[in-house]
Structures are given as C-alpha cells and as structure tokens.
C-alpha cells in the first residue's frame, strides 16, 4: 500500500512539485482533514517552492495561510496582554504548547489554530496569578463549586479563565500532567531548565528537549488524538529543528528518564520515524528503546496509532471512522458558529466623539 | 441531459459544476436535488471530469433511525457536515446555502461581503444588507432589467486589485418576494417553493444566461447602496458619509477581521472607489429608474 | 504604543482607524482623530492636548476642556489605540 500523499509530502517536500493536479486535489483534502493545510503552505514557502505549485491548489494553501497568519497575530497580542496582567505578581511565567511555539517561532507555530493560551507557573504562585488575571478582566468559566473543586484538587491547572471583553481563554497550569496521573514529571525540573524567550526578560519556554517531551506526552500519554497527525508533524518539526543543536540528541533520552517520560518519547520517535521519516540518530533510537512496552502491547499500539495518526479521510484506508471523530469535528468552534456572527463578534466597534449624537 | 440522466449521474459519480471561478463536485442520491439543478443550472458549464475541484460536497441522509419517521438531509463538505441536518424537502436550498458557506469560509483572497452585486457598463453596485432588507428582491428585479448579476449573496472583492469577481448563482427569494418577482417578471424561471425553512418559504430564481456566460468578467466597484424595502415609502436615495459606510460594510463582511490590515486596505479602496447611499423603496419600477440614473463616480486618477 | 501601527483613512470630517495590535477598526470623530495624530508624533498630556486643539474643534465642547480630553484619552486607551503612562 502506498502511504497517503500527506505523509509523502512531509517526508519529501521537494517531490511535491512533481504532483499532478489530481494528486494536489487529494493531498489538499487529506491535509485539510488533518488541519495541516497552513503547515503545508509553510513547508513549501520555506523551500521557495510555492511558485511551482499550480495556481488552483496554491490558492487553497494561501486561503489557509491567511487564517493561520491572523491567528498568529492574535496569539502574539494575547500573550502581550497576559504578560502585562501578571507582571505585578512577579511570578516566572512559562508559555506552553501553541503559545510557546508561536512566540518562540518554532516550526509547529505555522498554521496551528488553537483557542486557549496555556501557561505554567509554580504551584505556590497559582493563586497570585489567578488574582492578577482576575484584576485584568479574566473570569472563571466554571462557576459550579464542584467543578472548581475538581480542578483545584485533582487537576494540574486552574479551571480555564475567559476574558470578559475579548472572550479569549487562558489555562494556568502548575504541572504538565494531573496530580492523579500515573507518571508525574517534576514541574520544578521543567521550570529550572526553561529558557528565556528571545527579546523578553519575563517570559520563558521549555528547554528544547522538554518541548519535545511535553509534545510527546500530550499526544501519546493524554491520548489527545483528534489532531493526531498534526501533533506528530509538530514533533517531527521540533526534532528536525532542534536536532541541529549539538547537545540535543545526547540529552534527549536521559532527560526522558529523569522526567519519567521514556514511554511517550519512545512512541514519538518510533512513529515520527515510521510515518514521517524523521531523521533520528540510531544510538538515540536504541537508547529510547528503554521505553518500549512488551510485545503484545507494542503490537496493539502499532495497530491503534498506525490508524489513529492517519488523516480521517476516506482516501486513507484504515483510517478510524465512527461517531467519536465525527462528533469531535462537528464540535469544532469554527463550524458551529455562523460566519456572519463570527465576523460580528470579532469586529469591535466604537464611536468616540466628545459630542453625544 | 434528461432529468433521469442527471439524477443517475448525481448518484453515481456526481457532477462537476463551474460557478464563477469555483468548481464544485456534487454527489447525491437524494431525489429532488436533480430537479433544482436541472432547472437552475442548465446554462452552467458542466464539466465531464476535472483534475482539480475546489469543493467536494454531497447531500446525504444522516445515519440515524430518524430517517424512517422524519427524513432529513445533511450537507457534507468532503464527507463532514458543517451544519445540522434539515428536513429532507429542503435538500436543494441546503445545497445553495452550503455552497455559500464553502465560498465564504475559504476564499480569503477576497474580502467577502454579505451583499448582492449587479453590474452595468463595467461598474458594479454593491448592495450589502442584513436579511429582510429586500436586497434579493431588488437584485432579482435589476437583473431582469438589464443589469448583469455578479452575485446575489456574496460580493467578492479581490484583495490584490480591488476588482469584484463574479459568482453568479441562483437568486434566493423569500416569502412575499417570490410572488413579487413572479408578477414583476413572468418570464423568470423560479424553482419550486419550499416552505417552513429557517428563512420561511424560499424559491430560487434562475440567473439570466448572459450573466453566466460572462462569469469571468470582473467589474470595478462604483456604488455601495444599502437598500431598505419599506411598504408605502417614497423612493429615496440619500448620500451616506463614507466613514459610516465603511463601518456598515465591514459589519456585513465575513472575513474583514480575518484579513487584518489587508482587509482594512481592501475595504478602504472599495469605499474610496464608490459613491455610498442609503436607499429606501417600495415600488420596484421606481427603484429600477433610480438605479438607471446612477452616475459612476468621477475618477480623480 | 510599541509594535503598534495605526492605519488611518479620512473621509470628510470622520476617520477610520485600524490598530494593528488589536486588529480592531474604529470610527473616530475629529477631536479624537486630532488627539491621536498628536500622540503619534510625541507623548503628551491632557492639558497640552487641549491647548493644541484648533479653535474650530474647541467649539465642540461646552464645559471644561481638560477633563473632556482626559475622558477621551481613557477611551482611546481602552481601545488599545494609545498607551497610558
């Protein structure tokens, strides 16, 4: 069976220029389904290949890029406002996931659309951060006292907070996994290794190895599979990007052991290499084998992930079908909201004149 | 192609429809869709097979038991439904609404305004308006009196040059305006009425063949006119300050905010190029007369 | 405001302002537009801004000018068009 076009695209972007129009049609459908259209645009743009894409498919890529571009702008602005709000609390703030990729200009930033900004702060500062955010217009979204207690007692984060004017959402974490999880990577270690964001003296992102481990944990431990392929492409992008640093590969597996994340790292390396042909040094692959599960589990996982990580498109045989994914798709915000309402909602109007009309 | 042949092809391989610059692949086995397509899309280029399709859509039955006691229809965009299902007899209008969604949520090389657009002598009149303003009625009347239809629902202002790209598709008429147009132009072809939709009773009017034949011809924006049908009102065309027009058009745009500064620049260009008016009317003939007397803006270039 | 690019179009005596930071668009009257363009040149305060208002625009106000300008500055600040020190 030939692998789906979207996998081939990320393995060998250079070969895309040889695609026929009919291939482009199929590739765009697979990429759209995996939320990878804007990423595909960036992949071609980086290599100066956009001009060689036929006009029609190029237009589709540009449509997706326009959305991603605007999103990136909105994220930068939101992070700026969050930073201002918590400045007085004097708490070290670490940006996580999408916000981290966007602000550190890492490969996964390209075309990742997300609705929440995630930050991590020390557990003992979480109340101070919450108070600072509330002072600047963020309010709790879960008013139910049960929900509040659930989050505060069992989760690794505050209940999501929404800004009353902008409706943007922030998740304030103190760890990357819930207190109840079977593995508990030490947040202190993650914080200690975090790096300052270029151009800032008060915003940090995880160290390169930790960024990869967090991403792997999210996909392979939390089981957040609705954007499976997109998340794997993120991991592939991070590995290719940081792989150029001399210390990256030698540190990776040791760090995973230190943080008890060898299993998700093993899966991430295995499937990135298998599906996207991510270049991984053989000695790293071998060392990461420490996180390999026993063979029955391995066989099961290969089957499950092998399907779940493919685009959920009829053209990719073996892709997961059924109500679960279907429901997730319908739930997505951009489909539920009629475009006109969305435009209204985003379009903040004001008329200022010293004279009342 | 006979209706039976069309129905067969829709069911088997689907058809490739070219509307404006977009190609849509439609596949469905739901009866009644072929009737609407055959009646209203007879003059459009029907491609036998094409390598690249902008929108792969289908109309299908939802996979629930509901099918057996209250049949419904789903609009699917490449297999996924952007909306909830509707009663089965609304399949054809749903295709029209779904296609509007396809264009308005993707075509970001244009500033997309919820508006009708008609053209004469190379100059376009943009009629943005919230539902209920009589925009479509006025648009239907105009295209039966010598104006070319660029679009009934979506004004596509190209970001790169500010020109308007045609997207001539059937004109959607609602409630009383169906009979108004039937009397106004008995020659017009209208689809079967469907009642109890979320917009009331709807019917679609076939686009004049000339507008379809000239679907590749762009037009220069010249007027932005906010129509308002008001029973018994005198015909009144009032100049609208451009800055106010800017805000009101932006309020009717789908992707103004999304386009960021490019949206702002495109909108500013559109407003600069146009004379802006509020237009109140109750008698269609008088409205047509007012439009016939519109003078294009004097260019300062 | 750092990183802010304001895009402005003028039609008759009304102004449309697009703030690149917020991505929002606003319709401003002549006084607000005057104050905004002054502040783009250099930081200032309400008293100085009030003084700089051309007489034609001063006629817009019945009462004390400075508090009105203060109020306007607060509005412009909440729209993220200006930054208050």
Chains that touch C (3 or more CB pairs under 8 A): A, B
Tell me the C-alpha distance between C54 and C51, whole Å: 8
Closest residue by Cα to residue A100 from A190, A211, A200, A246: A211
Is the Cβ of C81 closer than 8 Å to some Cβ of chain A? no
Over residues B117-134, mean pLDDT: 91
The reply to whether C63 falls in a domain is yes
The reply to whether C58 falls in a domain is yes
Predicted local confidence at residue A222, as pLDDT: 67
Give B244 to chain A, closest Cα distance, Å. 10
Give the model confidence (pLDDT) of C21-38 as tens digits.
888 899 998 888 888 888
Is the pLDDT assigned to residue A311 strictly greater than 90?
no
Closest residue by Cα to residue B165 from B179, B150, B178: B150
Contact C16, B247 (CB under 8 A): yes
Cα dist from A48 to A41, A44, A193, whole Å: 10, 6, 35
Is the Cβ of B260 closer than 8 Å to some Cβ of chain C? yes
Tell me the C-alpha distance between A102 and C25, whole Å: 24
The reply to whether C62 falls in a domain is yes
Record the tokens describing residue C21, joined without a space.
């930071």
Q: Which domain holds residue C38?
A: 6-78
| Planar angle of CA B201, A334, B164, nearest 5 degrees | 70
Tell me the C-alpha distance between C49 and A135, whole Å: 30
The reply to whether C84 falls in a domain is no
The reply to whether C61 falls in a domain is yes
Range of weakest confidence among A177-181, A245-249, C51-55: A177-181
Contact B44, B17 (CB under 8 A): yes
Q: Which is more confident, A114 or C8?
A: C8
Is the pLDDT assigned to residue B180 strictly greater than 60?
yes
The reply to whether C83 falls in a domain is no
Full 3-state SS string of B27-49: EECCCCHHHHHHHHCCCCCEECC
Cα-only R_g, chain B: 19
Residue ranges per structural domain of chain B: 3-104, 110-292
Domain count, chain C: 1
Percent of chain A with pLDDT over 90: 60
Give A344 to chain B, closest Cα distance, Å. 6
Is the pLDDT assigned to residue A144 strictly greater than 90?
no
Is the pLDDT assigned to residue A343 strictly greater than 60?
no
Among the partner-chain residues C22, C25, C68, the one whose CB lies closest to the CB of A77 is: C22
For residue B60, what are the contacts with CB-CB under 8 A and spacing of at least 6? B28, B29, B30, B73, B74, B76
| Residues, chain C | 85
Strands B220-229 and B123-128: parallel
Residue of C nearest to B258 (CA): C23
Predicted local confidence at residue A86, as pLDDT: 92
- What structural domains and CATH numbers belong to chain A? 5-346 (3.30.460.40)
Give the model confidence (pLDDT) of A17-74 as tens digits.
999 999 999 999 999 999 999 999 999 999 999 999 999 999 999 999 999 998 898 8
Give the model confidence (pLDDT) of C67-85 as tens digits.
888 888 988 888 888 887 6
Chain A residues in contact with B255 by the CB 8 A cut-off are 339, 343
Residue of A nearest to B253 (CA): A343
The reply to whether C1 falls in a domain is no
Give the model confidence (pLDDT) of B245-293 as tens digits.
999 999 999 999 899 999 999 999 999 999 999 999 999 999 999 999 9
Which residue carries 């930073």 as its tokens? A83
């Amino acid at each position: 069976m030939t692998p789906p076009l979207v996998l081939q695209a990320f393995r060998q972007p250079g070969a895309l220029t040889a695609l026929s129009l009919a291939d482009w049609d199929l590739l765009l459908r697979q990429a759209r389904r995996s939320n990878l259209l804007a990423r595909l645009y960036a992949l071609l743009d980086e290599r100066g290949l956009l001009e060689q894409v036929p006009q029609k498919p190029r237009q589709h890529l540009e449509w997706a890029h326009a959305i991603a571009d605007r999103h990136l702008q909105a994220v930068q602005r939101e992070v700026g406002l969050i930073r201002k709000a918590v400045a007085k609390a004097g708490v070290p703030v670490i940006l996580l996931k999408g916000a981290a990729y966007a602000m550190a200009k890492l490969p996964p930033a390209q075309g990742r659309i997300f609705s929440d900004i995630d930050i991590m702060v020390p557990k003992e500062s979480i109340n101070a951060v919450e108070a600072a955010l509330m002072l600047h217009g963020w309010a709790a979204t879960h008013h139910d006292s049960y929900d509040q207690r659930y989050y505060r007692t069992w989760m690794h984060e505050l209940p999501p907070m929404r800004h009353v004017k902008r409706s943007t959402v922030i998740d304030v974490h103190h760890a990357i996994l819930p207190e109840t999880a079977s593995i508990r990577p030490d947040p202190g270690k993650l914080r200690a290794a975090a790096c300052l964001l270029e151009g800032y003296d008060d915003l940090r992102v995880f160290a390169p190895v930790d960024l990869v481990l967090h991403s792997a944990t999210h996909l392979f431990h939390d089981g957040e599979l609705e954007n499976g392929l997109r998340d794997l492409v993120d991991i592939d992008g991070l590995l290719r990007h940081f792989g150029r640093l001399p210390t990256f590969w030698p540190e990776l597996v040791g760090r995973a052991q230190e943080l008890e994340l060898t299993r998700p790292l093993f899966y991430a390396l295995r499937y990135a290499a298998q599906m996207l042909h991510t270049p991984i040094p053989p000695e790293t692959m071998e060392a990461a084998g420490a996180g390999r599960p026993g063979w029955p589990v391995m066989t099961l996982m290969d089957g499950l992930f092998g399907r779940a990580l493919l685009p959920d498109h009829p053209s990719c045989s073996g892709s997961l079908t059924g109500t679960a994914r279907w429901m997730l798709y319908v739930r997505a915000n951009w489909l539920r909201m009629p475009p006109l309402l969305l435009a209204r909602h985003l379009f903040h109007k004001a008329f200022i004149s010293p004279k009342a009309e | 192609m006979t209706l039976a042949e069309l129905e067969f092809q829709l069911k088997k391989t689907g058809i490739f429809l070219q509307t404006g610059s977009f190609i849509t692949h439609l596949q469905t086995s739901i009866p009644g869709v072929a009737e609407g397509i055959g009646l209203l899309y007879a003059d459009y280029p029907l491609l036998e097979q094409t390598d690249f399709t902008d929108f792969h859509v289908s109309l299908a039955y939802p996979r629930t038991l509901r099918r057996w006691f209250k049949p419904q229809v789903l609009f699917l965009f490449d297999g996924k439904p952007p909306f909830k299902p509707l009663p089965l007899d609304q399949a054809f209008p749903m295709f029209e609404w779904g296609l509007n969604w396809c264009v308005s949520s993707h075509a970001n090389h244009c500033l997309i305004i919820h508006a009708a657009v008609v053209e004469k002598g190379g100059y376009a009149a943009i009629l943005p308006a919230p539902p209920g303003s009589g925009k479509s009625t006025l648009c239907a009347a105009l295209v039966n009196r010598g104006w070319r239809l660029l679009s009934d629902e979506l004004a596509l202002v190209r970001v790169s040059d500010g020109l308007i790209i045609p997207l001539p598709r059937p004109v959607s008429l609602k409630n009383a305006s169906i009979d108004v147009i039937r009397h106004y132009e008995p020659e017009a072809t209208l689809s079967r009425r469907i009642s109890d939709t979320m917009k009331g009773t709807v019917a679609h009017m076939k686009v004049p063949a000339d507008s379809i034949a000239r679907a590749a011809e762009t037009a220069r924006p010249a007027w932005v006119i906010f129509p308002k049908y008001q029973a018994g009102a005198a015909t009144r065309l009032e100049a609208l300050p451009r800055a106010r027009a800017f805000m009101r058009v932006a309020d009717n745009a789908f992707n103004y905010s999304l386009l960021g500064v490019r949206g702002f620049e495109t909108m500013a260009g559109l407003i600069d190029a146009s004379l802006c008016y509020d237009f109140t009317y109750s008698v269609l003939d008088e409205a047509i007369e007012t439009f016939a007397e519109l003078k294009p803006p004097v260019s300062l270039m | 405001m750092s990183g802010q690019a304001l895009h402005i179009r003028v039609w008759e005596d009304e102004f449309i302002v697009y703030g690149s930071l917020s991505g929002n668009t606003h319709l401003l009257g002549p006084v607000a537009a005057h104050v905004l363009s002054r502040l783009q040149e250099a930081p200032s305060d309400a008293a100085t801004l009030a003084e700089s208002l051309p007489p034609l625009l001063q006629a817009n106000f019945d009462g004390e000018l400075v508090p009105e300008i203060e109020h306007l500055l607060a509005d412009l600040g909440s729209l993220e068009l200006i930054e208050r020190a």
